Every structure is written in structure tokens, then in C-alpha cells.
Amino acid sequence: MQEKKYKPIILPNVDWEMKTLTEEFGELVAQPLEPGFGITLGNALRRVMLSAVEGSAVTSVIIKGVNNEFSSIKGVVEDTLHVLLNIKGIVIKNKTGESGKMNLSISGESIAKVADIKADDHLELVNKDHIIAHLSPDANLEIEFFVETDRGYLPAQWPKGDALQSDGRIYVDAMFSPVVNIEYHVEKTRVGQSIDYDKLILKINTNGSVSPSDILRYGTSVLRTQLEHFLDVKEIPFNEISKQQEDNEEKGGLIDTQGPTKGLPVDLFLKPIDELEFSVRAHNCLVSAGIRRVIDLVNLSYEDLLKIKNFGRKSLREVKEVLSAFGLHLGMNVKELDLKKAIKEQEDSLKS
């Protein structure tokens, strides 16, 4: 029986904005996406990353001389409830995902901060300037912290029937998720002459214990794992189908299968920049600088463009995005002689 043939789908390019990428913030751009896929993927990834990513937090403490959260601590300005609230704000990076312990021992007039805590080797404290308590000259504060790893939010896990623990342990609510906020935006982008494709912009804010790239990797892995269980028969290999389509398009009308113009139409480089449909401001700046063809533009560098009068970073970003939609980029170093040679070879092959 002949195997059914499927049409390919667009495979997106996924890039991080490297200029703004930190341990606490990352902006991801995925384009082009099939029409409607921007909202579908953006919403699914956002919901999973907000709820399913693992993190570590303090779940209980033992404060020397205190056996319940409503007590006062001798020599400490804050009461126990206030100290516990500050403890909930400790951000912990867990290298192994295993449970662990931390200890704080400080006395005399001082400010107890996260930096004063000594943790197990696999635990790293992120927000070291975070204040735990203010101490008076006669104060002596000793706290043992118990750290666990989980997902989402967990209310204090008090043992049933025991109001006071024999070891003086106090259980606290724990927010395990390292994700602070995630937002996504969907814009329209173009592929060739089509302008109906989606561009997904995903912004991830974390507490610094897990990087945005690891957040995305975790969320994507969870989604893929869940979706695999909906397949009751063999998966349709869209990656291979779509890649094969791209390979086929490299034959006839496309040039230089190894160089910077790999898989791109010959005539595209010789067309006027009007074909790229830049904004009026960007277009006028380019034309006034003598940049009239696509080849003239792609052979320039970022620095070259910024030297053009009235051409700012906003216009530079626009040029970068438009070129990307056509599979182009700046600094391609395309030689016009090679283009003319490729055109001649195409004409000869058509004649034969």
C-alpha cells in the first residue's frame, strides 16, 4: 500500500535577544510560524512554564528559643512572623535538585542577611543582600533551614494533630516556581511574498535561580512529553518532510549550495530594495545613501548602516527582521560576478 504524502509545514527559527539576556530575563523570538501557531504555542508554553517548572525553597525552619510562629525573638526587632516572611523571600539555586539544609548563626548588633547563611554544597544563595532580621546588641539569632524541591506553591505542611513540634520546627508556605512572570506577543511576519505568518515574542522573567533558557527547555520538554501520549499511531515526521522540501527548493533557480547564498533565488539579490517593503523612513535613508538593490544592502555590516545619516537602531532592527523573513542577513559578502555566472548557467540549462 502506497504511503500517504503530507504537505510540509513552516519550521521556525528560534533566537534569543542576546543583548538583553541575563539570568533573570530573556526575550525569545520564534519566526516564521504557521498562521495561528503563535497564540497556540505562546499560550501553551506560558501556562506550562508558569506552573510546572521545578524550583527549591525553604519549607520549614528551627529558630533557637522559639517553638511557634507567634512568638517574639529576644534581641530581634522583627517578630517571628515577620522573620518567617523574610525567609520566604530567600532565592535558592539547587544544583542537584535534592533536599538540603542551611544554617544562620549571628549575634550582636547587626543586620542578618542571606549572605550570612551557610548552605550545603549543592545549594547556592542568589539574593545575598536580602534582609532576614535586624539584631540589637544583646541578640543571638540561630536558624536552621530545611530546603526542598517541588513545583508551584505549597502551603505549610504541618503534621496533623500536632500544634507544637518536639524539635521546635516551624513549617512555612513555599513558592517553588522560579518563574516571576511570562508574557508573549504575536505579530505578523512575512515569508517571501506571503504576510500571513506569525512571529512569537516570548519574554521570561525569573528570580535568578533558573535561567530563562532552562525555563524554556523544561517547559518545552513537559509539553512534548504530554503530547506524545496523544499519539496512538506512528507520528507524522513533519520535521523530515519540511526539511526535504527545503532541500528540494535548492535545485533550479537557487544558487551556491555551499556559500553564503545557499538555497536563495538568484534574482532576489538583483531586485531593488523596494521589493522588501521597508517603512518609508528606512527606505528613504537607504536610497539616499545609494543603496538601491538587495545585494547592495546585504553586503553591508551593522556598523555601515548606522553610519548612514538619520538611520537609527530602530531602522536597523527593522532591516534585520525584514531580511530574516527572506532568508537574508547583513554581511553576506555576495559577489555580483557569481550571481551573473549562476544566471548564465540557469539559462544554458533551460536551453538544453
Looking up residue 277, the CATH number of its domain turns out to be 1.10.150.20
- Structural domain ending residue among the three candidates 175, 198, 223: 175
Q: Distance (Å, rounded) from C-alpha 197 to C-alpha 281?
A: 24
pLDDT of 259 over the 60 cut: no
pLDDT at residue number 115: 95
Q: Distance (Å, rounded) from C-alpha 179 to C-alpha 205?
A: 6
Q: 44-48 — which CB contacts under 8 Å span 24+ positions?
A: 44/223, 45/182, 45/184, 45/202, 45/216, 45/219, 45/220, 45/223, 46/182, 46/183, 46/184, 46/202, 48/219, 48/222, 48/223
pLDDT of 191 over the 90 cut: no
Q: Looking at residues 161-169, what average pLDDT do you find?
A: 80
Domain residue limits at 185: 13-53+179-231
237 belongs to a structural domain: no
Q: Are 26 and 187 in contact (CB under 8 A)?
A: no
Q: Looking at residues 315-319, what average pLDDT do you find?
A: 85
272: preceding bond cis by omega (within 30 degrees): no
State the virtual CA torsion across 133, 137, 140, 141 in degrees, nearest 10: 10
Q: Are 66 and 170 in contact (CB under 8 A)?
A: yes
Do 124 and 198 fall within a single domain?
A: no
Nine cell digits for residue 201? 515574542
pLDDT class of 237 with cuts at 50, 70, 90: confident
pLDDT class of 256 with cuts at 50, 70, 90: very low
pLDDT at residue number 254: 43
Q: Are 156 and 127 in contact (CB under 8 A)?
A: no
pLDDT class of 2 with cuts at 50, 70, 90: low
Neighbours of 215 (CB within 10 A): 23
Do 286 and 261 fall within a single domain?
A: yes
How would DSSP label each residue in 85-98? Answer: HHHHT--EEESS--
Closest CA to 143 of 107, 110, 175, 109: 107
β-pairing verdict for 54-63 and 169-171: antiparallel
Q: Looking at residues 162-178, what average pLDDT do you find?
A: 88
340 belongs to a structural domain: yes
Do 40 and 84 fall within a single domain?
A: no
User: If DSSP codes are grouped into helix, strand and coil, which group holds residue 8?
Assistant: coil
pLDDT at residue number 257: 39
pLDDT at residue number 225: 92
Q: Looking at residues 58-73, what average pLDDT do you find?
A: 91
pLDDT of 242 over the 70 cut: no
250 belongs to a structural domain: no
**Could you tell me the CATH number of the domain that includes residue 77?**
2.170.120.12
pLDDT class of 251 with cuts at 50, 70, 90: very low
Q: Distance (Å, rounded) from C-alpha 79 to C-alpha 119?
A: 24
* Amino acid (1-letter code) at residue 38: G
pLDDT class of 331 with cuts at 50, 70, 90: confident
Do 49 and 186 fall within a single domain?
A: yes
Q: Looking at residues 310-336, what average pLDDT do you find?
A: 82
4 belongs to a structural domain: no
- Structural domain ending residue among the three candidates 157, 175, 193: 175
6 belongs to a structural domain: no
Do 136 and 224 fall within a single domain?
A: no
1 belongs to a structural domain: no
Q: Looking at residues 237-242, what average pLDDT do you find?
A: 71
Do 267 and 326 fall within a single domain?
A: yes
State the virtual CA torsion across 268, 270, 273, 275 in degrees, nearest 10: -40
3-state helix, strand, coil in the chain (%, to 5): 30, 30, 40
Q: Are 31 and 200 in contact (CB under 8 A)?
A: yes
Q: Looking at residues 160-164, what average pLDDT do you find?
A: 76
Portion of the chain with pLDDT greater than 90, in percent:
47
**Could you tell me the CATH number of the domain that includes residue 33?**
3.30.1360.10
pLDDT at residue number 350: 61
* Amino acid (1-letter code) at residue 29: V
Q: How many domains does the chain have?
A: 3
Q: Looking at residues 23-33, what average pLDDT do you find?
A: 92
pLDDT of 294 over the 70 cut: yes
Do 48 and 184 fall within a single domain?
A: yes
Do 91 and 225 fall within a single domain?
A: no
Do 168 and 91 fall within a single domain?
A: yes
Do 299 and 193 fall within a single domain?
A: no
Do 23 and 59 fall within a single domain?
A: no
Poorest-pLDDT segment among 122-136, 233-247, 270-284: 233-247
* Residue position matching grid coordinates 495561528: 36
pLDDT at residue number 234: 77
Q: Are 320 and 330 in contact (CB under 8 A)?
A: yes
pLDDT at residue number 346: 66
Q: Distance (Å, rounded) from C-alpha 75 to C-alpha 73?
A: 6
239 belongs to a structural domain: no
Q: Looking at residues 131-152, what average pLDDT do you find?
A: 94
For residue 304, which phi and psi values (nearest 5 degrees)?
A: -60, -45
8 belongs to a structural domain: no
Do 130 and 221 fall within a single domain?
A: no
pLDDT of 203 over the 70 cut: yes
pLDDT class of 352 with cuts at 50, 70, 90: low
- Structural domain ending residue among the three candidates 127, 160, 175: 175
Element (H, E) at 141: strand 140-151
pLDDT class of 298 with cuts at 50, 70, 90: confident
Q: Which pTM value belongs to this model? A: 0.68
